[in-house]
Amino acid sequence: MDNEAHFLEAYFNISTMTGYGILLVVTFISVIALIEVPLKMFYAIASLNFVVVALLSWGILKEEISKGMIFGIMLIITGVVVFNL
């Protein structure tokens, strides 16, 4: 029983529940955005989430950004620009 309680703590603590709530809100906002924003533009903006997460993790959490991540970010930004030409 102790292992089961420990297992459930990982899914039902305040940090995880906050993450679930944020995911629910983002999903709801995305559905609303799909009503107003053209699908082509929506996916271009959605792909920039990877760039934003990397930059926020670097700026706020002081995580290291590797050369591979920088290359990936440049590829994403280039793809978004080319896709929208």
Q: What does the pLDDT read at residue 43?
A: 84
- pTM for this entry: 0.63
- DSSP one-letter code for 64: -
Give the pLDDT confidence score for residue 5 in this predicted structure. Answer: 65
DSSP state of 10: T
Whether 4 shows a pLDDT value over 80: the answer reads no
| Domain spans in the chain, listed from the N-terminal domain onward | 1-36, 38-85
Q: What is the pLDDT of residues 30-80, one digit of tens each?
A: 899 889 888 888 888 888 888 999 999 999 989 999 999 999 999 999 998
**Separation between Cα atoms, residue 11 and residue 16, nearest integer Å:** 6
DSSP single-letter state for residue 12: S
Measured distance CA(32)–CA(61) in Å, rounded: 30
d(CA 76, CA 78): 5
Q: Report which of residues 25 and 6 the model is more confident about.
A: 25
- 49 against 7, higher pLDDT: 49
